[in-house]
């Protein structure tokens, strides 16, 4: 039985489990890795109860490969991991983007690099989420910062993935994954399913309309479609034709970029304040506290990281004098913020970064903004 509408109190990872089931998850394949293991363990218990399949695979690469297969068999599929596993999955994420396979990957970020700090927080995977695989390919990445977000954004991740046929990454972190909190399951939850091909496929399995998203010719319906990671024409056959590849690569990216208005979201508190903080994930909670203690602070809480919400951020930052980015890495989203700040001419943004494995205190943020380092 799905989690009934109303208030609940759970761990972030547990909320993610329940949200995935609400979204219609049928197939989960994963490999345990701290701090995401609760998602796998929760689904191991819940999937058979809800009529789905759970499989613990031999490694992360097998996990992501299996969910790609399951998605083509016509069901919603998800996996969960952390930094090192996310690195292993990159080739297949590129494959999912190239073949337009809807899948959801939860990355509960931890201290890095390398084995790093498995039980401490970090935000070092943001650039990897967009540029981890080779070549140019589209990806959607969302950043939850509370247990409520873990619930809402997991469902949103499925919806976006299905709507745009793009691998969608939920960039959570160790604090958000493990924190316990209250959240609300609304009465009405919007679930989006992929548009499946209905007519006969005749050498046009990958044909698309003005939305740039082809209807998906899932397996087992007699479409007889060939899916490949090689550059392909609309029949799905591999090709070396430069014009075809040019069109394919650009369409895949445009598919997401052109719909950024639908995909991107931020929550702006007191936009246009003198000092604007920009944050996502667990540091945004500390930034929010800092904002509440200082009347001339505002906060932009980024809920979408890729495609980067340039327009929304620019609107929220317009008129401000001082932009301070708070993140738990050496400046990954900061580069995008610098770009936006430069475009709107609001002065040089500053970066408050911590990579030691914990979230900043609100007082540390305040004193950094006020002039101390």
Residues 309-338 contacting another protein, CB under 8 A? none
- For another protein, which residue of 135, 186, 202, 221 counts as binding (CB under 8 A)? 221
- For another protein, which residue of 33, 39, 67, 147 counts as binding (CB under 8 A)? 67
Q: State the minimum distance, in angstroms, from the CB of residue 220 to another protein.
A: 5
Residue 161 is a binding residue for another protein (CB under 8 A): no
Residue 61 is a binding residue for another protein (CB under 8 A): yes
What's the Cα-to-Cα distance from 105 to each of 43, 71, 142, 156, 339, rounded to whole Å? Answer: 14, 13, 11, 12, 28
- For another protein, which residue of 127, 192, 219, 357 counts as binding (CB under 8 A)? 219
Task: Report residue 55: phi and psi, to 5°.
Answer: -140, 125
Q: State the minimum distance, in angstroms, from the CB of residue 25 to another protein.
A: 11
Residue 51 is a binding residue for another protein (CB under 8 A): yes
Question: In this structure, what DSSP letter does residue 79 have?
Answer: E
Max intra-chain CA distance, the chain: 66
Q: State the minimum distance, in angstroms, from the CB of residue 27 to another protein.
A: 5
Question: In this structure, what DSSP letter does residue 89 have?
Answer: T
Residue with tokens 């990897």: 128
Q: Answer for the pair 98, 229: CB distance below 8 angstroms, yes or no.
A: yes
Compute how many other C-beta atoms are within 10 angstroms of the C-beta atom of residue 348: 9
Pairing label, strands 140-142, 304-306 = antiparallel
Which of 98/305 has CB closer to another protein? 98
- For another protein, which residue of 1, 6, 58, 373 counts as binding (CB under 8 A)? 58
Q: What is d(CA 155, CA 149) in angstroms, rounded to the nearest whole number? A: 10
How many residues touch another protein under the rule CB under 8 A: the total is 44
- For another protein, which residue of 113, 238, 272, 347 counts as binding (CB under 8 A)? 238
Residue 228 is a binding residue for another protein (CB under 8 A): yes
Provide the mask over 88-127, with x wherever binding to another protein is found by CB under 8 A and - wherever it is not.
Answer: ---xx--x---x----------------------------
Q: Answer for the pair 290, 277: CB distance below 8 angstroms, yes or no.
A: yes
Handedness of CA 189, 181, 17, 126 (dihedral sign): positive
Residue 69 is a binding residue for another protein (CB under 8 A): yes
Q: Answer for the pair 150, 16: CB distance below 8 angstroms, yes or no.
A: yes
Residue 57 is a binding residue for another protein (CB under 8 A): yes
Residue 72 is a binding residue for another protein (CB under 8 A): yes
Q: Give kind and range of the element (H or E) at residue 197.
A: none
Residue 74 is a binding residue for another protein (CB under 8 A): yes
Which of 86/334 has CB closer to another protein? 86
Angle 53-58-60 (CA atoms, 0-180°, nearest 5)? 85
Residue 73 is a binding residue for another protein (CB under 8 A): yes
Tokens of residue 83, six digits: 């930094």
Q: Answer for the pair 102, 93: CB distance below 8 angstroms, yes or no.
A: no
Q: State the minimum distance, in angstroms, from the CB of residue 251 to another protein.
A: 20
What's the Cα-to-Cα distance from 188 to each of 52, 142, 183, rounded to whole Å? Answer: 22, 21, 15
Residue 355 is a binding residue for another protein (CB under 8 A): no
Which of 20/325 has CB closer to another protein? 20
Which of 69/357 has CB closer to another protein? 69
Residue 48 is a binding residue for another protein (CB under 8 A): yes
- For another protein, which residue of 19, 62, 126, 150 counts as binding (CB under 8 A)? 62
Question: In this structure, what DSSP letter does residue 239 have?
Answer: -
- Residue 35: cis peptide before it, omega within 30 degrees of 0: yes
Q: What is d(CA 84, CA 101) in angstroms, rounded to the nearest whole number? A: 23
Query: Whole-angstrom distance between the N-terminal and C-terminal Cα of the chain?
Result: 51
Residue 134 is a binding residue for another protein (CB under 8 A): no
Which of 65/168 has CB closer to another protein? 65
- The region of 26-34, 37-45, 307-315, 339-347 touching another protein under the rule CB under 8 A is 26-34
Residue ranges in contact with another protein by CB under 8 A = 26-27, 29, 48, 51-53, 55, 57-59, 61-63, 65-75, 77, 91-92, 95, 99, 219-230, 237-238
């Amino acid at each position: 039985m799905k989690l009934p509408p109303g208030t609940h109190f759970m761990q972030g990872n547990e909320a993610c489990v329940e949200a995935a089931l609400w979204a219609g998850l049928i197939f989960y394949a994963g490999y345990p890795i701290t701090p995401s293991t609760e998602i796998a363990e929760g689904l191991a218990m819940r999937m058979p109860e809800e009529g789905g399949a759970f499989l613990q695979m031999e490694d992360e690469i097998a996990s992501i490969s299996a969910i790609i297969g399951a998605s083509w068999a016509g069901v919603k599929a998800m996996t969960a991991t952390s930094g090192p596993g996310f690195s292993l999955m990159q080739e297949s994420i590129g494959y999912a983007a190239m073949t337009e396979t809807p899948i959801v990957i939860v990355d509960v970020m931890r201290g890095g690099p390398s084995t790093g700090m498995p039980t401490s927080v970090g935000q070092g995977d943001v650039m990897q989420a967009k540029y981890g695989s080779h070549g140019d390919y589209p990806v959607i990445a969302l950043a939850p910062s509370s247990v409520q977000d873990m619930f809402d954004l997991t469902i949103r991740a499925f919806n976006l993935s299905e709507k745009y046929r793009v691998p969608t990454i939920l960039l959570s972190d160790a604090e958000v994954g493990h924190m316990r909190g209250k959240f609300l399951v609304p009465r009405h939850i919007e679930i989006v399913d992929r548009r499946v091909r209905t007519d006969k496929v005749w050498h046009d399995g990958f044909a698309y309309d003005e939305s740039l998203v082809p209807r998906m010719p899932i397996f087992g319906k007699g479409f007889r479609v060939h899916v490949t990671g090689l550059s392909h024409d609309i029949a799905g056959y591999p090709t070396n034709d430069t014009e075809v590849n040019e069109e394919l690569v650009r369409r895949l990216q445009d598919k997401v970029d052109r719909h950024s208005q639908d995909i991107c979201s931020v929550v702006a508190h007191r936009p246009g304040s003198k000092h604007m903080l920009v944050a996502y994930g667990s540091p945004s909670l500390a930034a929010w506290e800092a904002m509440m203690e200082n009347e001339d602070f505002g906060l932009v809480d980024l809920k979408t990281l890729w495609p980067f919400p340039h327009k929304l951020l620019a609107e929220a930052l317009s008129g401000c004098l001082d932009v301070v980015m708070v993140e738990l890495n050496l400046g990954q989203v900061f580069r995008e913020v610098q770009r936006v700040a430069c475009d709107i001419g609001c002065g040089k943004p500053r970066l408050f970064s911590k990579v030691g494995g914990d979230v900043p205190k609100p007082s540390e943020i305040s004193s950094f903004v006020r002039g101390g380092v």
